Amino acid sequence: MIRRAIGFVLVAAVLIGSLLYSQRQSGPRTVSGFIEADEIRLGSRVGGRVHLVSVEEGQQVQAGDVLVELEPFDLLQRRAEAEARWKQQTTAHQKLVSGFRDEEIAQAKARVEQAQANLLMLKNGPREQELEAAQAELNLVVAELDLAEEVYGRTSSLHKQGAATQEALDRARKERQAATERVTARREQLELLEEGTREEEIAIAEARVREASEAWQLMQNGYREEEIAEAQSAMEAVESALAAIDKQIEELKVRSPTTGIVEALELQPGDLVAANAPVISLVDTKRLWVRAYVPENELDISLGDKLKVTVDSYPSESFEGEITFVARQAEFTPGNVQTPEERSKQVFRIKVTLQDGHDRLRPGMAADVWLEGTP
C-alpha cells in the first residue's frame, strides 16, 4: 500500500512538473521596463561669472565640446607673472648647473694677479725713479707758484694805480691759490714716498689678495650642490604654481566628457556660478540600458546573454541587448511594471545594455525585454 502511495506521488510530481514546464515554455516570455541613461552633472572647480553659453537644452554635443565658458578675471595676469618668475628661476638654475664661464674665471685670475702685484709694490717701497719723478714734479709746481706770486704782485700794484681791473686782480689771486695747493699736494706725495709704505697699507693689500684668491678658487670649483638643489626646488615650486593656474584657466571652460544631449541648462551670460556647483545636466547617449524585473521562476538567465529589446515607438523593429547585471537579492515587483495581482511576488532586477539604436532610442521610453522567443 505504501509503495503504491509513493508511486502515485512520484507520478503526480512528474505530471505537475511537466505541466509547469510546458506552460513556461509555451509562447514568448517578456519583461517590461524603461530605457535609462547616465545623467552627468557638469560644473567648474573655480566658479565665477558666465562669459559664454554655447549650447541649448536638447542639443546634441560631442566629447570635448565647450558648453559654458567663465570670465578669467585676474587669472591671465597671475599666469603672466608666474611665467615671468618661472623664466627667472629657470635661468638662475641653468646658470648654477652650467657653472662659471671661462672668461669669468679668467677675469677672477687677473684680479688675483693684480692684487699680488700691488702687494709686492707696497712691500718693496718706492723706487729711486719714483722719488726722482716726485721731486721733479714738486720743483715744477714750486716754479709755477713763484710765477703766480710775481704775477699777483704786479697786478696788485697796477690795480692800486688804476691800471688793472678788479677782474684781473681776482684772476691772479685764484691762480696763486691754485699753484699753492698744487705745491702742497706734491710735497705731501714726496714725503709719503720718502717715508715708505705703512704696515696697515700692507695688511689691507694682503687681505685683498686673499679675497681675490678665494673668489677665483670658488669659480674654479663651481657652485655647491646645496645651491643647485635650492635653485631646483625654487624652480619646481614656480612650475607647480604655474601648472595650478593653467588648470584653473582650463576649468573656466566646462566641456562635455562624452557624446550626449543637454538635459537641463538655466544659464545666461553674466550669471554668477559657485565653484564645484553643477551648472548643466548632460545625458550620456552612448550607453543606454533597460531596467527590468524578472520573476524568480523565470530567472534562467546569465550575464552576457544576448536578448532582443522592443519599444512602442518602433513596433516593427527590435534592438540588440546584453545582460550586464543581475541582482543577487530579490525585490518586490515595482507597481509600474507588473499587475496588482503579481506585486506580492519577488523578482530580481536586471540591466540589459543596448548594443544599437543609440541614435533613435531615448531615456524614458517603455521597452520589452524578450527573455525567450522573438518579437
Question: Which among 37, 39, 38, 33 is positioned nearest to 307, based on CA atoms?
Answer: 33
More confident residue, 68 or 223: 68
- pLDDT, residue 129, reads 76
Distance CA 187, CA 134 (A): 8
Predicted TM-score (pTM) of this structure? 0.50
321 vs 25, more confident: 321
Between residues 30 and 131, which one has the greater pLDDT?
30
Length of the chain counted residue by residue: 375
Q: How many domains does the chain have?
A: 2
Same domain, 273 and 362: yes
81-85, 97-101, 132-136, 202-206: the lowest-pLDDT one: 97-101
Give dist(CA 61, CA 233) in Å, integer. Answer: 43
Rounded-to-integer distance, Cα 22 and Cα 16, Å: 10
DSSP 341: G
Cell output for 160: 692800486
Residues facing 372 on adjacent strands: 29
Domain-located, residue 37: yes
Residue 33: pLDDT band with limits 50, 70, 90:
very high
Q: Give the residue, 364 or 21, on which the prediction is more confident.
A: 364
CA distances from 15 to 3, 19, 26, 296 (A): 18, 6, 16, 21
Structural domain boundaries enclosing 86: 77-98+226-250
- Residues 280-293 have a mean pLDDT of 91
235 shares its domain with 320: no
Query: Would you state the pLDDT for residue 324?
Result: 93
Residue 160 covered by a domain = no
CATH at residue 305? 2.40.30.170
245 and 312 share one domain? no
**End-to-end Cα, the chain, rounded Å:** 52
Q: How far is CA 204 from CA 112, 113, 122, 275, in A?
A: 14, 16, 10, 66
* Residue 5 predicted with pLDDT over 60: no
CA atoms of 80 and 60, how far apart (whole Å) = 36
In a domain, 6, yes or no: no
Task: Give the residue, 68 or 112, on which the prediction is more confident.
Answer: 68
Residue 12: pLDDT above 70? no
Q: Are 26 and 372 contacting, i.e. CB atoms less than 8 angstroms apart?
A: no
Residue 233 sits in the same domain as residue 268: no
Q: Do 357 and 287 reside in the same domain of the chain?
A: yes
Strand-pair partners of 290: 35, 352
Q: Residue 114 domain-assigned?
A: no
Q: Give the tens place of pLDDT for each residue, 326-350.
A: 998 887 655 544 555 554 468 899 9
pLDDT of 318 above 90: yes
Tell me what percent of the residues of the chain surpass a pLDDT of 70: 82
331 in a structural domain:
yes
User: What phi and psi, each to the nearest 5 degrees, are found at residue 144?
Assistant: -65, -35
In the numeric block, the cell 591671465 is attached to: 76
> Band of the pLDDT at 130, cuts 50, 70, 90?
confident
Let me know if residue 294 belongs to a domain. Answer: yes
Name the amino acid, one letter, at 29: R
The answer on 338 and 244 residing in a single domain is no
Range with the poorest average pLDDT among 70-79, 93-102, 171-180, 335-344:
335-344
The answer to the question of residue 167 being in a domain is no
* The predicted structure's pLDDT at residue 132: 77
User: In Å, what is the CA distance from 372 to each residue of 30, 290, 334?
Assistant: 7, 16, 22
Q: What value does the mean pLDDT take over residues 218-223?
A: 67
For 248-277, what is the mean pLDDT?
90
Three-class DSSP category at 232:
helix
Q: Which of 181, 177, 128 minimizes the C-alpha distance to 149?
A: 177
Q: How many CA atoms lie within 13 A of 157 on its CB side?
A: 5
Task: Evaluate whether residue 360 is within a structural domain.
Answer: yes
Higher pLDDT, 20 or 55: 55
Say if residue 271 is in the same domain as residue 366. Answer: yes
Q: Is 300 helix (H, G, I), strand (E, B) or coil?
A: coil
pLDDT range class, residue 321, cuts 50, 70, 90: very high
pLDDT of residue 198: 64
* Lowest-pLDDT choice from 40-44, 112-116, 148-152, 315-319: 112-116
